[in-house]
Chains A and B, each alone.
Chain A
């Protein structure tokens, strides 16, 4: 894995027939890694160019919504080469696990959002010792 070359992944614009789109601007679907361990669910989301203050995370009725708002930036000068487009990010997930809403933690660094959703007590597996007489 160490010498593997990183692949170019084209940005996918949000399909226009999906929900939302009451906002202005271009929204892309961010690339996401989803990991799970016995106690929590972790989402790693690539959102380059978004300030940590412009990220909205919402979880209600098992629908998790992540929105990254792009700052309206005035493009100055002349575009000589354009290989990618910029805009906001939007993605929703259906979360099946029971999540402890009070303990959701999100950190953002270098354009990557790490969202930790701890499972609630009820959902974590518990070993039940069987005693024999």
Chain B
């Protein structure tokens, strides 16, 4: 955080005071505004997703390690994209004892409502190294269109 000559200008000291009190509010909520986690939204649904908009397309990226590509079910219906699947426990033979079990498994389902500008018929998906990338091209026809006004 930068404080330019905070003492000299009453405006700056006022801003600094404001910033301090905002930080207080955030830390009261248990969040540290200086941490890189601050801008990360916490998802309660698996998988957490990152959404990116770039030239002509939207991208949804999700980390789903340990699932086979053909076991991930993607569907679009009425402007809603649904990711569904199940992460199964690794089968590693009989007679094993677990020392540690941190990886969770089970079924998951998550839905995302798509903007109208997405061309739903051309959605593509790719799964590599446990990361699912869904590419959704923007519909070119949804750009601004001129509507002629006819005069009678």
- Which residues of A come within 8 Å of B, CB atoms? 1, 3-10, 13, 26, 31-38, 42, 44, 46-52, 75-85, 110-112, 114
Contacts and interface: CB of A to CB of B under 8 A. Distances in A.
Given A5-B106, A6-B104, A85-B36, A77 B46 contact: no
B52 interface: yes
Contacts of A9: 102, 104
Contacts of B68: 110
Interface in B9-51: 36-37, 39-51
Interface string B107-139: 110000000000000000001011100000000
| Most chain B CB atoms below 10 A, which of A5, A10, A26, A84 | A84
Contact of B50 (A26, A84, A111): A84
Contact of B41 (A6, A75, A76, A81): A81
A78 B89 CA distance: 36
Given A37-B96, A110-B130, 18 more contacts: A3-B106, A6-B87, A7-B46, A8-B42, A8-B48, A9-B104, A13-B36, A26-B36, A47-B130, A48-B64, A52-B129, A79-B51, A80-B53, A84-B40, A110-B65, A110-B66, A112-B66, A112-B90
B8 interface: no
A34 B98 contact: yes
B100 A34 contact: yes
A42 B96 contact: yes
Contact of A4 (B37, B58, B59, B106): B106
A3 B106 CA distance: 7
A51 B129 CA distance: 6
